Amino acid sequence: MIGAPMPDPQVADSRTIPQCASPSTPPASLVVTHEGPVFRVERLTFAAAEGDTPRVKDVVRHPGAVTVIAVRDDGRLVLVRNRRVAVDRWLLEFCAGKLERGEDPAAAAGRELEEETGYSASRIEPLGAFFTSPGFTDEVMHVFLATGLRPVPQRLEPGEEIEVVELGEDSLRSAVASGGILDGKTLGAYLLWSMKRSIGGHAVASGVGGGTA
């Protein structure tokens, strides 16, 4: 199957992801090697100069995802301990989830927060976004701060193994420093939150503006 790469509306619509100034070289051919419910894998072949071997890249096309830094009124952070099959380990993470095609990231953040942690937020504030692993995937992770939390029924999907964990920020920082947190999106999201607070931007635990979930 040959055709144009699958567009990612979350990347196209995002104002937080810088665009490359130089045009990319289009592939000479594109073959879809996997089409699943979560992502699609494309094998891109790029033409080479005479005498050289064509360059082949496998690329994972992903609809994007969200992760949520949830802060209770007492300042404690709500995380989850999630059993990740790919690495066969329990990982301490901020709650997160995949976007449906065309879904508003802020709405997805509120939904994932409720489903995984059993908290609803009165305020959801965007903090930024980043590419999770651009060496092989176009997945964009949208980061949100959730405050004004109140308990709601937790709604785990079938097969999900998740435990809710609440930590003070000092404990979270210690877990980061000691290697107790190995999840990349959690490390990246915490860095965004920390940096924005240090320069007087968003992400204070009280008085946060932004939309509602």
C-alpha–C-alpha distance, residues 92 and 35, integer Å: 29
CA atoms within 13 A on the CB side of 160: 18
Give Cα separations from 139 to 40, 117, 143, 172, 180 (angstroms).
Answer: 11, 23, 13, 26, 25
Neighbours of 136 (CB within 10 A): 12
A 10 A CB-CB count for 30 gives 17
In the residue annotation, 35 being an active-site residue is answered as no
SS3 209: coil
Considering 50, 93, 125, 160, which one is annotated as catalytic? 160
Chain-centroid distance of CA 53 in Å reads: 35
Q: 112-125 burial, b if ≥16 CB within 10 A, otherwise e? A: bbbbbbbbbbebbb
The residues assigned a catalytic role are 160
